[in-house]
Chain A
Amino acid sequence: MTAALLALADSRLPAGGHAHSGGIEQAITTGVIGDPVSLAGFLRRRLTTAGAVAAGLAAAACRAVDVADPAAVRPADLLAALDAEADARTPSPAQRAASRQQGRGLVRVASRAWPDPAWASLPAQPHHPLALGVAAATAGLTPRDAAHAAAYLAVSGPATAAQRLLAMDPITVAAVTARLSPEIDRVADDAAAGDLPADTDPLLDLLAEVHAARNDRFFAS
């Protein structure tokens, strides 16, 4: 099963994540990020807030389509409720749009990779973590795996975006991301085991909205 998890978290999976910087582009513009130290700090903020929420939602979505008796509890109802919980945790319209765009992109590739009736239970343009959770389930992975993929993707894509925008040394950026591994694991394990996290960073909301209003941006978010 491990290979399926690696495929799901691989930045080369053509799910559209490369078009999103997760707030990095605006953080660079406003001077919040400028070097590896500030990048690591920003990725940690993102991991422990948006990353924790995504991990919790992904694990829950994976569990939702893996229910023992689909007749008693409809996966579609569970996923619709999770989609509402995702909206409640994502009041920023720009972040909602980015999440749903990436969710749609992931459904496109993962439903082809792992065809399964479970895909029909997802709402039309699902939040990305929901699509990730269903992808994990259809690939035979566990809710914990789904949480780990979500937490990892919450920092890996933005780290690559920072490398491109700041023309940073790729080895330095890879090291920054790799050194976050223990924290990624902890965030994912906590999110998969407990209640749905709701951690928020108002700075990310502000950056996302200022970014969305720009017309000179390279990334969609």
Chain B
Amino acid sequence: MRTLVEVVARCDARGRTVLPVVRASGQLAVRRTGSTTVHLVATAFGPLGGDDAEIRLVVEEGARLAVRSVAAAVVLPARGESPPSRQVVRAEVAGVLDLAPEPTVVTARADHRAEVRVQLAEAGELIVTEQVLLGRRGEDPGRWTGTTRVERSGRPLLHTTVGLGPGAPAWLPPVAPRAYVSTVCIGEPRPEVRTGVDAVRLPLPGGWVGTAWAGELHDAVAALASVTEDVELVEVAR
């Protein structure tokens, strides 16, 4: 199943954000839930192995957009030999984008590939949070591969691929976490490095990236907050 979501946020003549494009097809619907907020709503179980979703976001200069989801995405394997499912977020941001969907839960045998690709204009600002849990309670972990690339004015600021779950080459005992959270923030003064227990915040030009992992999702969220709490992560990581 192919899913496409498109949202455009624009700044009108009075300086307010309007959303001239809000549309979706496939397994996601998109609802306006505030003047600058949309929620993604799953209209089917899944994603299932083989599903392909693309979310295109444009935030024009002076505009703000917050993207949320109403529930965790539970990635399920297809029957038999299950191919990976994919979700790609492509964002062009000259205003402010705040992207914080609910967690992705990757069930046993499922293999999910997530990509976030952001092109920032010079004044663009960004906060993106990802939360991943491998396996439901008492279930074997699934596999998740997440790529994040952020460019500002064509120059790469961050490009990382993290592989989790059985078969991922760097997911090995004794550090093979079931829960992983990451936040990228661009649009703040460059901070110092901070380290915690299974959590680290690293400076980027004009921002930072924070990463944490744990056996349980709420512990990973708390670990991330412990190295980023001075930057108002509370609402995003809730």
Total interface residues on A, CB under 8 Å, equals: 29
Instruction: Select one of B157, B174, B180, B204 contacting A38, CB under 8 A.
Output: B174
Which B residues are in CB contact (< 8 Å) with A14?
A: none
Chain B residue nearest to A201 (CB atoms) is: B170
Instruction: Select one of B156, B172, B174, B211 contacting A202, CB under 8 A.
Output: B211
Q: Helix, strand, loop or mixed for chain B's interface?
A: strand
Q: What mask results when residues 147 to 172 of chain B are scored 1 for a CB within 8 Å of chain A, else 0? A: 10100000111111111000001101
Give the contact stretch, choosing among B19-27, B30-38, B192-200: B192-200
A209 touches B193 (CB 8 A): yes
A41 touches B173 (CB 8 A): yes
Answer yes or no: A210 CB below 8 A from chain B CBs: yes
A199 touches B200 (CB 8 A): no
B156 touches A84 (CB 8 A): yes
CB distance from B161 to the nearest CB of A (A): 4
Answer yes or no: B116 CB below 8 A from chain A CBs: no
Which A residues are in CB contact (< 8 Å) with B213?
A: 202
Which A residues are in CB contact (< 8 Å) with B195?
A: 206, 209-210, 213
- With the chains together, A210 CA to B195 CA distance in Å? 7
Which A residues are in CB contact (< 8 Å) with B170?
A: 44-45, 48-49, 199, 201
Which A residues are in CB contact (< 8 Å) with B162?
A: 199-202
Answer yes or no: B209 CB below 8 A from chain A CBs: yes
Interface size, B (range):
20 to 34
CB distance from A93 to the nearest CB of B (A): 6
B184-204: which residues lie under 8 A (CB-CB) from chain A? 193, 195, 198-200, 202-204
- With the chains together, A70 CA to B16 CA distance in Å? 50
B160 touches A198 (CB 8 A): yes
Q: What mask results when residues 182 to 212 of chain A are scored 1 for a CB within 8 Å of chain B, else 0? A: 0000000000000001111111011001100
Using known A-B contacts A32-B175, A93-B202, A206-B199, determine if residue A88 contacts B193 with beta carbons closer than 8 Å. no
A91 touches B160 (CB 8 A): yes
Instruction: Select one of A44, A198, A202 contacting B149, CB under 8 A.
Output: A198
- With the chains together, A197 CA to B160 CA distance in Å? 9
B202 touches A199 (CB 8 A): no
Chain B residue nearest to A46 (CB atoms) is: B170
CB distance from B221 to the nearest CB of A (A): 15
B161 touches A199 (CB 8 A): yes
B155 touches A84 (CB 8 A): yes
Q: Total number of A-B contacts with CB less than 8 angstroms?
A: 78
Answer yes or no: A116 CB below 8 A from chain B CBs: no
Using known A-B contacts A41-B173, A85-B159, A88-B159, determine if residue A93 contacts B147 with beta carbons closer than 8 Å. no
CB distance from B171 to the nearest CB of A (A): 8
Answer yes or no: A11 CB below 8 A from chain B CBs: no
Instruction: Select one of B172, B175, B199 contacting A44, CB under 8 A.
Output: B172
Which B residues are in CB contact (< 8 Å) with A44?
A: 169-170, 172
A93 touches B193 (CB 8 A): yes
CB distance from B117 to the nearest CB of A (A): 12
CB distance from B48 to the nearest CB of A (A): 26
B200 touches A88 (CB 8 A): no
Using known A-B contacts A45-B170, A197-B161, A210-B195, determine if residue A203 contacts B175 with beta carbons closer than 8 Å. yes
CB distance from A171 to the nearest CB of B (A): 24
CB distance from A86 to the nearest CB of B (A): 10
Chain A residue nearest to B168 (CB atoms) is: A48
Answer yes or no: A121 CB below 8 A from chain B CBs: no
- With the chains together, A32 CA to B199 CA distance in Å? 16
B209 touches A91 (CB 8 A): yes
Which B residues are in CB contact (< 8 Å) with A213?
A: 195
Answer yes or no: A92 CB below 8 A from chain B CBs: yes
Answer yes or no: A18 CB below 8 A from chain B CBs: no
Which A residues are in CB contact (< 8 Å) with B155?
A: 84
B-contacting residues of A (Cβ < 8 Å)?
31-32, 38, 41, 44-45, 48-49, 84-85, 87-89, 91-94, 197-203, 205-206, 209-210, 213
**Interchain residue pairs with CB less than 8 A apart (22):** A38-B174, A44-B172, A45-B169, A45-B170, A48-B170, A88-B149, A88-B158, A91-B202, A91-B204, A93-B193, A93-B202, A197-B161, A198-B147, A198-B160, A199-B163, A199-B170, A200-B162, A201-B162, A202-B162, A206-B200, A206-B211, A210-B195
